[in-house]
A and B are shown apart, each in its own frame.
Chain A
Amino acid sequence: MRKSAMKESGADRAFTIVNYVLLSVFLIMVLYPLIYVVSASFSSSSAVVSGKVWLWPVEPTLEGYRAVFKNAMVAKGFMNTLLYTVAGTAINLVLSIMAAYPLSRKDFRGRGVFMLLFVFTMLFNGGLIPTYLLVKDLGMMDTVWSMLIPGALSVWNVIIMRTYFQTTIPNELLEASQLDGCSDIRFLRSVVMPLSGPILAVIALFYAVGHWNQYFNAMIYLKSSNLYPLQLVLRDILVQNEVNIEMLGDAKTAAARQGLRELLKYSLIVVTSVPLLIVYPFVQKFFVKGVMIGSLKG
């Protein structure tokens, strides 16, 4: 290590320095907004509105979080999103495995045709309105099902999974198990799945992120507000600026209300983003492995 450091030429040293500086600048550009939001969410509303927050919280308080957790819509939205994410991801995973595993088998007759049928849907689709009409005709409008079923399978994820199965499960295992009279489903359950932990984790995360962040389908398919996912509640507050007065608790004057309104937004952003940001470092180590094997060698 030392030797190679000593051997580093002037040009290389310059390169290394420039590289570190650029990456650091880059790091700060991505990180700063995130830090600012967290700091603002813990600051007093007057400090946020008057622009006194730069890096660390000013006059720390939990005012914003109190307003967030007191709100019934936010709580309801959070529970709905949790349900959609857990149930939706479970459906996604099961269907994806059921599609990807047969497609990964060379002795699965007709897989070329099936593959084409699947891939074509990535290139061309019926469009927004025909899909909407279908969901309507199926009687899913304004039901939980409209949040779970229309996006139940992503062909892209199926392809990643299929490639992973193809490249990591040795054919010899299948042959040996077939000689022992093991059925296909049993082989999938007791050999393939245990060997595919990383890809299952990554795909589950992809699906879960999709469900957690979903707002558009909810916006067009749901009418009753007690089914609204968190993102739709958020949109009303963050984007359309519809903060109802009860949310603002005991703020009396117009100025205090305005302040709390801003503060509340920062706290909301933190509350909704934290769950995923907590989960993803655990799955991150699988990313490169899972995603790469899946997409590169396709």
Chain B
Amino acid sequence: MLTGWKRLLRSWQLYALFLPPLLYIIIFKYVPMYGAQIAFKEFSVTKGISGSPWAGFDQFERFFRSHEFWRLLRNTFSISLYTLIASFPFPIMLALGLNYVKNRRFKNTVQMVTYAPYFISLVVLVGLMLQFLDPRTGLINSILGWFGLGPYHFMAEASWFQSIYVWSHIWQNVGFSCIIFLAALSSIDPALHEAAVMDGATKVQRMRHIDIPGIKPIAVILLILNTGQLLETGFEKILLMQNALNLRSSEVIDTYVYKVGLVSQAMNFSYATAIGLFKAVIGFVLLLIVNQLAKKLKQESLW
């Protein structure tokens, strides 16, 4: 009935609504992507992005040859993998456990309390860790003192850094991450459970044969998503936790980009952008590979 143009004209209000967010995305997401070309240039502020001379892959080569390269790569991957593997099972276990709690009061209390840390800011979280781990006044060292251990200066030891980072991450996020699994569990057809009970299945059996298969698709999707975000280390938190003494295991690509680009004496925008771009490309490729792999395994995929 309506031709294309008339239809378009009739919904002009939708386009008017959509214009501001679209402009926002173009300006604040796509313009920086265009700006990332300075990774291939010798950027100078006075000449601007398009005026600066091309430098080819010089910045990348410089990074690959620098003595920081392997250390950054190793730290970035080990922190990411450690986080991915250690933090994956806990929200699932919490959700499975909560699912069998009949006492509403208890269930709500556990949920309320375990969600709470999610709302604590990173600055406060790191502040907390510093207070608790303080060698002289900290709670943890007081407790260790009872057993005749310590005091340890946890934050000053490179070997402790990654574990402190990962386990504080789990403490903060486990409750919130379990929401999605709880919802998946609640969408499982109760008839399955009833039938299983009729057949005399125990709770453990029901968990193994009904609940776990029921949440498996979600778990796989989340695992894919998290793997795709593998290199997105919690950069802001790492930056807060860093000090000169733990730098050996705490410097990751993102913190290095920040330092090279915005803090160091010899700020180098092009070099920092090249390093950032290198990481972004690896992350992107990783996501594609994982998704392809998931498709092959006939599991859920993102697209």
Residues in chain A within 8 A of chain B (CB atoms): 9, 11-12, 15-16, 19-20, 22-23, 26-27, 29-31, 33-34, 36-37, 48-49, 51, 95-96, 98-99, 101-103, 105, 107-109, 114, 117-118, 121, 123-134, 149-150, 152-153, 155, 158, 183-185, 188, 209, 212-213, 215-216, 220, 231, 234-235, 238-239, 262, 265-266, 268-269, 272-273, 276-277, 280-281, 284, 287-288, 291-292, 295-296
Residues of A within 8 A of B204 (CB): 11, 15
Say yes or no: A215 contacts B121, CB within 8 Å: yes
Give the chain B neighbours of A184 by CB distance below 8 A. Answer: 11, 13-14, 17
Bound complex: CA A202 to CA B170 (Å): 23
A261 to B128, CA, bound (A): 14
Q: Are B101 and A23 in contact (CB under 8 A)?
A: yes
Stretch of B80-88, B105-113, B158-166 that contacts chain A:
B105-113
List B contacts of A209 (CB < 8 A).
Answer: 119
Chosen A-B contacts, 24 in total, with CB atoms closer than 8 Å, are A15-B100, A23-B94, A30-B171, A48-B137, A105-B14, A109-B8, A109-B11, A114-B18, A121-B30, A126-B36, A129-B273, A130-B32, A133-B35, A150-B28, A184-B11, A185-B16, A213-B121, A216-B236, A238-B123, A239-B123, A269-B124, A273-B120, A284-B112, A287-B179
A89 to chain B, nearest CB (A): 15
Q: Are A134 and B119 in contact (CB under 8 A)?
A: no
The minimal Cβ–Cβ distance linking A212 to chain B, given in whole angstroms, is 7
Contacts of A216 in B (CB 8 A): 236, 239
Please, which residue of chain B has its CB at the minimum distance from the CB of A99? Answer: B21
Candidates B20, B94, B122, B132; contact of A26 at CB < 8 Å: B94
A130 and B114 form a contact (CB under 8 A): no
Contact A215-B21, Cβ < 8 Å, known A109-B7, A129-B276: no
Inter-chain contact B280/A127, CB cutoff 8 Å: yes
Q: Which residue of B lies closest to A118 (CB)?
A: B25
Assess the B218–A131 pair: CB atoms within 8 A: no
Indicate the member of B32, B100, B269 with the most A CB atoms within 10 Å.
B32
Contacting residue for B100 out of A19, A37, A109, A152, CB 8 A:
A19
Interface of A, helix, strand, loop or mixed by DSSP: helix
Q: How far is the CA of A216 from the CA of B183 in the complex (A)?
A: 33
A296-B184 in contact (CB<8A): yes
- Supply 19 further A-B pairs (C-beta < 8 A) apart from A23-B110, A131-B28, A220-B262: A15-B203, A19-B101, A98-B17, A98-B20, A127-B273, A128-B262, A128-B272, A129-B273, A133-B32, A152-B28, A153-B24, A158-B21, A215-B123, A239-B127, A269-B127, A269-B131, A291-B179, A296-B184, A296-B218
B254: chain A residues at CB < 8 Å are 128
| B53 interface residue (CB < 8 Å to A) | no
Asked if residues A126 and B34 are in contact (CB atoms below 8 Å), the reply is: yes
- B binding-site residues for A, Cβ under 8 Å: 4, 7-8, 11, 13-18, 20-22, 24-25, 27-36, 38, 49, 94, 97-98, 100-101, 106, 109-110, 112-117, 119-124, 126-128, 130-132, 137, 139, 142, 171, 174-175, 179-180, 182-184, 186-187, 202-204, 218, 228, 236, 239-240, 254, 257-258, 261-262, 269, 272-273, 276-277, 280, 284, 287
- Tell me if A276 and B128 are in contact (CB < 8 A): no
Residue of B25, B123, B257 touching A213 (CB-CB under 8 A): B123
Q: Which residues of B contact A188 (CB under 8 A)?
A: 17
Residues on B with beta carbons closer than 8 Å to the beta carbon of A128: 254, 257-258, 261-262, 272, 276
Q: Which chain B residues lie closer than 8 Å to A149 at the CB level?
A: 28
A124 near B280: Cβ-Cβ < 8 Å: yes
Provide the residues of chain B in CB contact with A114, threshold 8 Å: 18, 22
Residue of B nearest to A205 (CB): B119
Q: With contacts A30-B171, A31-B113, A216-B236 known, is A231 near B121, CB below 8 A?
A: yes
Given contacts A16-B203, A109-B8, A296-B218, are A121 and B276 in contact (CB under 8 A)?
A: no
User: Which residue from B27, B31, B113 sits with its C-beta under 8 Å from A30?
Assistant: B113
Cα of A118 to Cα of B132 in the assembled complex, Å: 42
With A51-B142, A127-B273 already in contact, the answer to whether A239 and B20 are too (CB < 8 A) is no
Knowing A22-B97, A109-B8, A150-B28, the reply to whether A129 touches B127 (Cβ < 8 A) is no
Using known A-B contacts A16-B100, A34-B116, A127-B32, determine if residue A288 contacts B25 with beta carbons closer than 8 Å: no
When distances are taken between beta carbons in the complex, the residues of chain A under 8 Å from B126 are 238-239
Residues of A within 8 A of B49 (CB): 133
Contact partner of B202 (CB less than 8 A), chosen from A11, A108, A183, is A11
